[in-house]
Structure 1
Amino acid sequence: MSSDYVESRVASQRRIAFRDDTPMVGPPGTTATDFKMPRLRRCPFTLDSMIWEARVDGGIDGYVWKVSFGAKGPFALKVFWDAEPVDFPTYYAPQRECQNAALLQMIQTAGEQEAAASRAVLVNAKPTTWDDAVANLAAFSDEARLAQPARADHASVMPPRFHQVSTIPRMKRCYGWLTIPGHVLRELDWSLRPPPVQVDMIKRHLAFDREYIAIVYEFVEEGESDPDTVQKALDFFWLAGFSRTFSPLSKNWKSGVLVDLSDIIPPRGYGWKADLYEKGPGSPCT
C-alpha cells in the first residue's frame, strides 16, 4: 500500500465533520441532510463541574470513567486514545462514535415523533445492499416520513417488502462530546489516572501533553443481557442500515443495551461492511 494512498485516505477521513459546536439542548434536527452528515452536538455540562468518581474499563478505542457533573449523574465518560486520525487506513474511533451517537439520537427522536402521531417508519424489511442501507436510514428523516402514507393506510398501500418500525429499542443516552486536556488527567489521583491498556498486540495510553475527544453517556449499570432483547436491538440496527463489525464483543452489552457504539457502523461511515450486512443482523455474540 503506497504512502500516497495512506495520506489521501487519512486526509479524506479528516475532512468529514463529525462534531457540532452547538450545545446539546433539546432534540436534534432530523432532516435528510442531518442523516447524510451526522454531527454530534457539544455536551452542555462544564468540565469544571465534573467529578471523577471511578475508573471503569478500557478497550481498543478509549478509556471509560464513572463521573458526575455537580449534582447530576452518574454518567459514563469515554475518552478516546487517538487525539488525531492514525496514519494508516482504519476507522477513527471518535468519528465513528460521534456519528453513531448522533444518528441514534436522531432515530430515537424520529421514532418518538411518529409514535406521537400514531404512525410508523417504513423501511425495507430485507435490506442486503449499501443502497438498501442508505435508504432505510434515510427513511427516518423528516422528508421521508412526510412522504409516507398515514398509518391507517399502511395495510392497503404498503408493499409486502416493507416493515413498519413502530418502536425503537432501548438505546444508551448520549449527552454530547467535550474535550479533555491532558493536564486534567495528570492532576487526577493515582487511583483515577488512566492505566495503559493492551488489546492483543496493541498497547494504548493517554499522554498528558495532548487534548482528547470524549463523549458523555448515561451510566448503564452492570446486568445480564437477555438474548432476545439483544437480538431485537441487532435486528433494528440492521434495518436502520448499520453493519456489524468483524469482532463484536459480548462485554459491549450491559443490561441488554449496547454500550460500545463502535460495534456498529453506519452506511456512510468508514468501514461499513457490505459482506456482513448482506448476511443479516447476526445473533448475540458469546
Structure 2
Amino acid sequence: MAGPGTSPSFWEREFHNVKLAKPASIPFLSDELMDGLPPDCSFKAFKRPQLRRCPFNLETIDWPRSRRIDGGLDGSILKIYFQGSDIPYCLKIFWDPEAGFGGVAQFAVERECINASVLQKMETSVEEAVTGSSPPILINPNPKTKEDAIDNIYGFSREGRQAGLSSLSKVDYEPMSVTSMPRMRKCYGWVKIDAHSLLEGWPRRVRPSPVQVGKFRRSFQPGREYFAIVYEWIEEEDNDPATVQAVDTFLYRAGFCHQAGSHVDNWKGGVLLDLSDYVYVFARWWRRMFYEPREVDNILQPHDQR
C-alpha cells in the first residue's frame, strides 16, 4: 500500500480524469466463515471469487500491544494482537465504504478481496495436484491474450484439472505443470468496522489518522461502516530480487496483470504486501497492455522513480 510520502504527481497521474469505479457487478464478499475448510475451486468460483469472512473477534484485540503503523491511498494499517496470543496480525482498514467514494477511481477493497480469494483457491489447487488427490495443473507458460489468461485460470480449476488439455480447442504450446506456488501473504478474511470504533471507541494512539496523498485527503467519516481485511503480519526483511521475480512470473501465468505502478515498499522479504498491485483477469480493471511479466527493477521502484 502506498505510504503518506507517495509522490503527488504519481497519484494525480494515475487517477486524474479516470472514470470512477461503478458499483461491483458481482459480489466480492462471502458471509461464509474462513473456518479452515478449503475454498471452492470450481471454475464458477474462479470466475466470481468471493473472500470469506474472518472468524476473529475484533473485540478481543489486545490494545496495549497493538499499534498504528501508517496510512496511504487505499487504507490504514494496524499491527494487532489478540488476547491470549503472541501472534501479530495486520489489520488493513479501507478508507472507501463504497465504490467511487471520495473521488478515487479504484475500489481497493474489492480488488484485494478478489485477489486474496483467488490466491487461496490456487494454493488449494496446487496442494491437491501435488499430493495426487487431483490431476495436475496444466497451463500455458507464455500467455499473451485475455483468452490465454482465462485458459490458465481454467487449468487451476477443479474442472480444468479433471479435463486436462482435452478441454481446449487449440493447444499450440508445450504445457507447463504447476507443482509449486511462491510464498504469498496469508489472508484471514474480511471484517466490517463501524466509524464509532475508528473515531472514538478505540484507544487514541491506535486510531487511524487522516492522510493526504496527492490531491486526495483520506479519512474515516462518522456514521458509516468500513471494510477491513486481516492479513498475516510480515516483518521487515530485505527483498531477494529472484524471489520477487518468481512471484511476478507466477501471477502473470495465473492470469493477473499489473496495475499501472508498483514500488519497493509493497514488498517485504520477497512477499507481496499490497495485493492491489495486481489485477485478476475476471476483474473489471484488467488491461491487456499491462499483461506481461516485469523486470524486478520495474517492480521494486522507489517512490521518486514512478
Give me the TM-score of the superposition, normalised by structure 1. 0.88
| Shift in alpha-carbon separation, 1:282–1:270, aligned structure 2, 3 A | farther
Residues 1:235 and 2:249 aligned together: yes
Q: Among 24, 27, 30, which residue is 2:34 paired with?
A: 24
Q: Residue by residue, what CA displacement relative to the aligned partner does 1:33-65 show, whole Å, maximum 9, x if unpaired?
A: 110000000001112212340112211111110
Counterparts of residues 91-110 of structure 1 (less than 5 Å): 91-110=106-125
Bigger fraction of residues in strand: 1
4+ runs deviating over 6 angstroms = none
Residue 142 of structure 2 corresponds to 126
Structure 2 residues without counterparts, runs of 5 or longer: 1-18, 166-170, 302-306
| Shift in alpha-carbon separation, 1:228–1:195, aligned structure 2, 3 A | same
SS in 2 for 1:110: helix
Residue 146 of structure 1 corresponds to 162
SS in 2 for 1:191: helix
Q: Is the 8 A contact 1:18 1:99 kept in 2?
A: yes
Q: Which amino acid is 1:39 matched to?
A: Q
Q: Is the 8 A contact 1:90 1:271 kept in 2?
A: no
How far apart in 2 are the matches of 1:240 and 1:282? 17
Residue 152 of structure 1 corresponds to none
SS in 2 for 1:131: helix
Residue 136 of structure 1 corresponds to 152
How far apart in 2 are the matches of 1:179 and 1:50? 15
How far apart in 1 are the matches of 2:294 and 2:126? 20
Counterparts of residues 1-286 of structure 1 (less than 5 Å): 10=22, 13-25=23-35, 26-52=37-63, 53-72=66-85, 73-86=87-100, 90-117=105-132, 120-148=136-164, 160-185=173-198, 186-277=200-291, 279-283=292-296, 284-286=299-301
Q: CA shift at 1:164, angstroms?
A: 1.8
Greater CA drift, 254-263 or 198-207:
198-207
Q: Is the 8 A contact 1:91 1:270 kept in 2?
A: no
| Shift in alpha-carbon separation, 1:193–1:89, aligned structure 2, 3 A | closer
How far apart in 1 are the matches of 2:112 and 2:247? 17
Q: Which amino acid is 1:35 matched to?
A: F
Question: Percent of aligned pairs with the same residue?
Answer: 39
User: How many residues in Structure 1 have an aligned counterpart in Structure 2?
Assistant: 269
How far apart in 1 are the matches of 2:84 and 2:144? 46
RMSD: 2.0
SS in 1 for 2:180: coil
Q: CA shift at 1:159, angstroms?
A: 6.4
How far apart in 2 are the matches of 1:160 and 1:15? 34
SS in 2 for 1:77: strand
| Shift in alpha-carbon separation, 1:89–1:139, aligned structure 2, 3 A | farther
Q: Is the 8 A contact 2:140 2:173 kept in 1?
A: no
SS in 1 for 2:230: strand
How far apart in 1 are the matches of 2:149 and 2:158? 17
How far apart in 1 are the matches of 2:237 and 2:293? 27
| Shift in alpha-carbon separation, 1:75–1:159, aligned structure 2, 3 A | same
Q: Which amino acid is 1:200 matched to?
A: G
Give me the TM-score of the superposition, normalised by structure 2. 0.83
